[in-house]
Amino acid sequence: LRNDTLDQWDREAFFHPSTHLAQHAQGEAPNRVIRTASGCHIEDRDGNRFLDAFAGLYCVNVGYGRMEIAEAIAEQAKELAYYHAYVGHGTEASITLAKMILDRAPDGMSKVYFGLGGSDANETNVKLIWYYNNILGRPEKKKIISRWRGYHGSGLMTGSLTGLELFHKKFDLPLAQVIHTEAPYYLRRPDREMSEAAFVDHLVAELEALIEREGADTIAAFIGEPLMGTGGIVPPPEGYWPAIQKVLDRHDILLVADEVVTGFGRLGTMFGSDHYGIRPDLITIAKGLTSAYAPLSGSIVGDKMWKVLEQGTDENGPIGHGWTYSAHPIGAAAGIANLRLIDDLNLVENAGRVGRMFNEALQDAVGGHAHVAEVRGEGMIAAVEFQKDVAAGTFFDPGDKIGAQVAGKLLEHGVIGRAMPQGDILGFAPPFSLTESEAAEVADKTAKAVAAVLG
């Protein structure tokens, strides 16, 4: 197809996610059409190459162009492209993958319920939690606590769990069963004199107060990303998770670890729960499960919930929940090949080792800049946050779009980072196969982009 035809059809026919409608109406610039990709690089239709330091949407964890996964998908499509997974049926691929996931999951996990993407897996989680409390005879224990700035999807329930205003306004969200608590965001702590330990105490007190106000007997679960992603790439302060877990245990509130970004190696450990010593009752997985070679997600159900769910009686019949494409064989084949590749190439170890180097290189490159408030990260994920006056702790006017400007300059240097949606934050989450020289290149070009925008 000719470029101008593609541009015309794109404008006429394609309603893209996250479209800025006003800009669309004004005939914004044509979309970049990506043609091919290999390793950490993508290439557009005009032959421009970019180092993708965000791995798509932090999902192409093993890197692009992995023939092992492409071939596994092709083999599966030829042998059996589809059969459903409703009770009484399975496929070799989906059964094998369920076993492989449990073999890698933190201790205390019992079963895998498959979906397609992270949002629907979190919908599944909420329904399983409600079902569980129904079996226990306490259907009123229903509310879910999420964190401001948490990201858990963009459906009606999952958009409610997401603690970003953009996903609420105009949609009458959050739903009444969802309540939010403060994010563990040390840079934005309420009092700049607070130590990290005092900030954790403060977050615990906030959570306790919320539970007290709402009543523990109305609260079913707490959901959080081990390391907050879309809300700003925010590692938790030291001691945060054990302290939160203690509060939840005391009030018999389940813990959902949303590991859509952190699952399968991004922090240098197989799961973020392993990294921070979290004992979740449910784990959400998606993105890294297949490295996005095919859509697939899952809810890993812990022993405590499974033991109760197992006692479900005939009165309800089968659980009224499932998707046509749950455990799709092509997604499962991609997942198997992906997890094998991660093992064979030691990619979790690489994410930890090169990721640490990458974080240090970023710190060296821009950490001392007058407008860089923080370079933070863990394993193969990192962020640079900008402030107007670092000593005073004041932020730029959001209208200045400093984060987006720096990301734009970086793109001109051939590197893709991501301007995170709330705040002046430049995010990175490269494929785990990033090499040391690619890590150094991203850091170096980030310094150039920052200098171009902020001097």
| Segment contacting ligand PLP by CB under 6 A, of 95-103, 187-195, 256-264, 385-393 | 256-264
The residue from 50, 54, 151, 293 that contacts ligand PLP (CB under 6 A) is: 151
Backbone angles phi, psi at 172, to 5 degrees: 55, 35
Contact between 118 and ligand PLP by CB under 6 A: the answer reads yes
Check: CB of residue 291 under 8 Å from CB of residue 73.
no
Check: CB of residue 118 under 8 Å from CB of residue 286.
yes
Contact between 358 and ligand PLP by CB under 6 A: the answer reads no
Q: How far is CA 384 from CA 232, 235, 307, in A?
A: 9, 13, 43
Contact between 123 and ligand PLP by CB under 6 A: the answer reads no
The residue from 56, 174, 226, 229 that contacts ligand PLP (CB under 6 A) is: 229
Q: How far is CA 84 from CA 99, 324, 450, in A?
A: 18, 6, 50
Contact between 117 and ligand PLP by CB under 6 A: the answer reads yes
Contact between 280 and ligand PLP by CB under 6 A: the answer reads no
Assigned token pair, 427: 């995010």
Contact between 379 and ligand PLP by CB under 6 A: the answer reads no
CA distance 450 to 183: 27
Contact between 428 and ligand PLP by CB under 6 A: the answer reads no
3-class DSSP assignment, residue 220: strand
The residue from 225, 274, 378, 385 that contacts ligand PLP (CB under 6 A) is: 225
Count the residues in the chain.
455
**What residues contact 366, with CB distance under 8 A and at least 6 apart?**
372, 375, 384, 443, 446, 447, 450
Considering CB under 6 A, how many residues would be counted as binding ligand PLP?
15
| Segment contacting ligand PLP by CB under 6 A, of 147-155, 235-243, 313-321, 447-455 | 147-155
Nearer to ligand PLP, 62 or 286 (CB): 286
Contact between 258 and ligand PLP by CB under 6 A: the answer reads yes
- Among candidate residues 375, 355, 384, 394, the one with its CA nearest the CA of residue 453: 384
Nearer to ligand PLP, 422 or 435 (CB): 422
Check: CB of residue 33 under 8 Å from CB of residue 9.
no
| Segment contacting ligand PLP by CB under 6 A, of 224-232, 299-307, 311-319, 386-394 | 224-232
CA distance 222 to 22: 37
Check: CB of residue 260 under 8 Å from CB of residue 276.
no
Contact between 224 and ligand PLP by CB under 6 A: the answer reads no
Contact between 184 and ligand PLP by CB under 6 A: the answer reads no
Residue nearest to ligand PLP (CB): 118
Helices (H), 215-254: 240-250
Nearer to ligand PLP, 17 or 317 (CB): 17
The residue from 207, 286, 337, 366 that contacts ligand PLP (CB under 6 A) is: 286
Contact between 260 and ligand PLP by CB under 6 A: the answer reads yes
Q: Report the interface residues with ligand PLP, using CB under 6 A.
A: 57, 117-119, 122, 151-153, 225, 229-230, 258, 260-261, 286
